Structure 1
Amino acid sequence: MFLSLIFIFGGKAFYFLQSNARFYILDDIASHDWYKIKLSSFDEYKISHLNRNIFIIGDSISLGMPISSFSNEFKVYNYSIAGEDTVSLLNRIDRIPFEYADVVLFMIGVNDLGKGRTIESILTNYKLLFSAIKCIRCQVVVQSVIFTSPFKRDNEKIKELNLFLEVGVVDYGFSFFDVNLSLGLNYELRDELTYDGIHLKNQAYMTWIKHLNLFLNTGTN
């Protein structure tokens, strides 16, 4: 079973799974078999301390990152799941073997807004997630929530989340990387970089990873 299509209808996101031709609403994704299968697949990663390892953690936006575009010095493991939000991530964060990570790339939050969660509840979940990342030797990079087209999410709320992240991650010894500096314009996702107002075209990923590689090498956006 695998994810073949995501579409929006009536303000909700649905998944179409090709193998059994069923549709699933985005809400409560952790209860579905396809989510559990994806979660189990992470246990099959063969991770070694001999490599410099990047762990990617997020939702479908992070899941789409082309790992071959990262610097060759890194081995990249993507722990993202389509439809993930702060609540479902909290329920699985302890299954991620942070002791093997050299760099953790973290982005979550846009699906919480899609489900109508308050800013206060999302910020509370951020704090719980950051406290759960037990990573002594690695660099944790918290990335901004990416702006959307104005008809998809409230970008003012995204701005509010990012303001907290930029300042708040310092208390945990983490770094903040602002993806919107390269993908956004006037607090919106640039039209030419998206095909549905949220998810990214390949051009957007190439721009994002180019600046991210520079950030990992220099520490500057």
Structure 2
Amino acid sequence: MRIRRPALPIAAALLAAALAPALLAGTTESTLFTKPVQLTREHRIDLWRIENPDIEPGAIAFVGDSITAGFPLLTAFPEQRTINRGIPGDTSAQVLERMQESVYDLDPGIVVLMIGTNDLGHGGTVEQAVENTARIVRLVQANEPQAHILLQSVYPVYDGDPAALARSSVGLRTNDALDDINAALRALAGLAGVEYIDVNSALRGPDGLRAEYTVDGLHLSPAGYEAAATVLADVLR
């Protein structure tokens, strides 16, 4: 059973006020400080606990990892009421740990889920990523039955000439393993009665993730986000 948590005490509220510009900008930087402030995972979740009671039900909750966290939702979907619940570095298991703050407290109308690439990045398996994603879908269906679930494909990684990138964050991820996840997610969507959204194909070229769509082989560039948003906007409309 889900439990609605009360707002945090004044110290946490002050933290929220200090770091709010970073969250609203969709970055981990705050202009209130002379140097960038890196929001920890715990900071983000604490801030969500503060703001969630004031969020009107029925929004579109984007849930995922750093790719979701960096998605410029306000500019990509200006006519939609979107909430960003992405945390850099999160795996599917870690999303399961924060379902309350990321989904249940919001009573969303739509949940856009994309998770799994970090499972591979941390040495996990395709099976672990898919099993945990299936658990997330079941929990949303059980606790938020009004929510329409959009299950995104995981995105490709760049596997071309490394010299084309200034740096690489691909690590252990391979497009073959990501394709295996996506095949399983497509099947999962059919079995669970949710909608599978293939964003992977729109981002892909002969070298996996198109070089112009990425900053480091994994994370998207502005052009990459624009390509992903085009696919998602058609569904959200």
Larger Rg: 2
Alignment match, 1:198: 218
How far, CA to CA, are the matches of 1:64 and 1:95 in structure 2? 18
Alignment match, 1:116: 123
Alignment match, 1:64: 70
Q: Is the 8 A contact 1:54 1:77 kept in 2?
A: yes
Compared with structure 1, are the counterparts of its residues 40 and 181 closer, same or farther at alpha carbon in structure 2 (3 Å cutoff)? same
Displacement after TM superposition at 1:169 (Å): 1.5
Q: Kindly report the root-mean-square deviation, in angstroms, between the aligned alpha carbons of the 2 structures.
A: 2.2
Larger CA deviation: 174-183 vs 65-74: 65-74
How far, CA to CA, are the matches of 1:41 and 1:120 in structure 2? 32
Displacement after TM superposition at 1:97 (Å): 4.0
Alignment match, 2:197: 177
TM-score calculated relative to the size of structure 2: 0.73
Q: Is the 8 A contact 1:143 1:179 kept in 2?
A: yes
Which has the larger share of helix?
A: 2
How far, CA to CA, are the matches of 2:207 and 2:151 in structure 1? 19
Displacement after TM superposition at 1:70 (Å): 4.2
Instruction: Provide the aligned length of Structure 1 versus Structure 2.
Output: 191
Displacement after TM superposition at 1:18 (Å): 4.4
How far, CA to CA, are the matches of 2:40 and 2:78 in structure 1? 31
Which has the larger share of strand?
A: 1
Displacement after TM superposition at 1:172 (Å): 2.0
Out of 40, 48, 64, the position equivalent to 2:46 is: 40
Displacement after TM superposition at 1:19 (Å): 4.8
Q: Is the 8 A contact 1:107 1:145 kept in 2?
A: yes
Q: Does 1:101 align with 2:108?
A: yes
Q: Is the 8 A contact 1:191 1:197 kept in 2?
A: yes
How far, CA to CA, are the matches of 1:97 and 1:58 in structure 2? 11
How far, CA to CA, are the matches of 1:199 and 1:206 in structure 2? 13
Q: Which amino acid aligns with 2:189?
A: V
Alignment match, 1:135: 144
How far, CA to CA, are the matches of 1:127 and 1:194 in structure 2? 28
Q: Is the 8 A contact 1:57 1:104 kept in 2?
A: yes
Q: Which amino acid aligns with 1:160?
A: D
Q: Which runs of 5+ in 2 are unaligned?
A: 1-18, 23-27, 30-34, 163-169
Q: Is the 8 A contact 1:195 1:201 kept in 2?
A: yes
How far, CA to CA, are the matches of 1:73 and 1:192 in structure 2? 27
TM-score calculated relative to the size of structure 1: 0.78
Amino-acid identity (%): 26
Q: Which amino acid aligns with 1:47?
A: I
